[in-house]
Structure 1
């Protein structure tokens, strides 16, 4: 089975920061590790590992965040262990029934986590195929609070360097551009991929 290894770095606009993901795509599985650094709402450093099972369904997300505590003198470290075992989600070992039924995690400041539903349904290759609704385990950064979040992905049209997919959650909407491998190229007002 062929493994595709990809490294992608994004400028994360609202956080005045950057995120990099080292991704491995093997068959219908995704594995990644990543780092992000930002200045807003407070300076932070994030590291994470992400594992999926078949069909890009999240099996585990482990995240660590360092933030300043008391100015330059101290650092506060928080961590999160989010797991999905056949549709039963746990947060740091505690069952979270509100997340049951979700297939994906969505880590704030991490454009990579928009990839799993896009790959699972080939949304980057099927413009105009209609809306797809998802329940996500949303992880906010830097506090690592986990909540259930309903999201809709609607493939639009090819253009630019990839395919635009409309992302909607509550009152928020954005037309995200994905490349041929299902990775974010441009997420207006949130993140843009850096090229060499």
Structure 2
């Protein structure tokens, strides 16, 4: 059996609302994504966060495990989606998330990647608007809720990257993605930190 080529990526972002930053180490292979990440934030109070993310085929979420530590508490979340599309949170059923393919971890630009890659939105400016139901996880409290979002490709950015409009309820932001489908600039939320020069 041929081994699938793995594309390894590392990205760090400054996170504006938390006055912190986050780093993701990701591997893409055969339409699947595996990642782990760390984040620190100062707002609403200092916290440290760690997560692991695994998808199945077509970048559909299988599992998101998150831990948040503050000065006096540690909380965790184990969010899973099975092959029938049923979600559980910490082992309990979450029928309100039925129909969602993706998790969306708050203040984590990496989790914007899965729907973009699945529908090739960063390469198809003519793809039109796509509506999604997400399993949205707020940070730092790790509350989970169903969230409807729309992604609309707008075309090429001045840098050659692609701009995709993100909308959820009354919030809207024109987000720039690179050729790997990762966020470069998310106005109001995150900015990628330039990596070392080769």
TM-score category of the 2 structures, normalised to the smaller one: over 0.9
| 1:44 and 2:47 aligned | yes
Q: 1:48, 1:115 → 2: CA distance? A: 16
Q: How does 1:128-143 map to 2 (within 5 A)?
A: 128-143=126-141
Identify the residue that residue 13 of structure 1 maps to in structure 2. Answer: 16
What does residue range 15-164 of structure 1 map to in structure 2 within 5 Å?
15-68=18-71, 75-86=72-83, 87-159=85-157, 160-164=159-163
Give 1:161 deviation, angstroms. Answer: 4.0
Write out per-residue CA displacement over residues 69-89 of structure 1, whole angstroms, 9 at most, x where no aligned residue: xxxxxx200000000002100
CA RMSD, 1 decimal: 0.7
Name structure 2 gaps, 5 residues minimum: none
3-state DSSP of counterpart to 1:119: helix
Runs of 4 or more, structure 1, over 2 Å off, are: none
Q: 1:76 to 1:161 in 2, by over 3 A?
A: farther
Consecutive unaligned residues of structure 1, counting only runs of 5 or more, are 69-74
Q: 1:43-77: CA deviations, max 9, x gaps?
A: 11000000000000000000000012xxxxxx200
- Give the Å deviation of 1:104: 0.1
Q: CA deviation at 1:189?
A: 1.1
SS at match of 1:15: coil
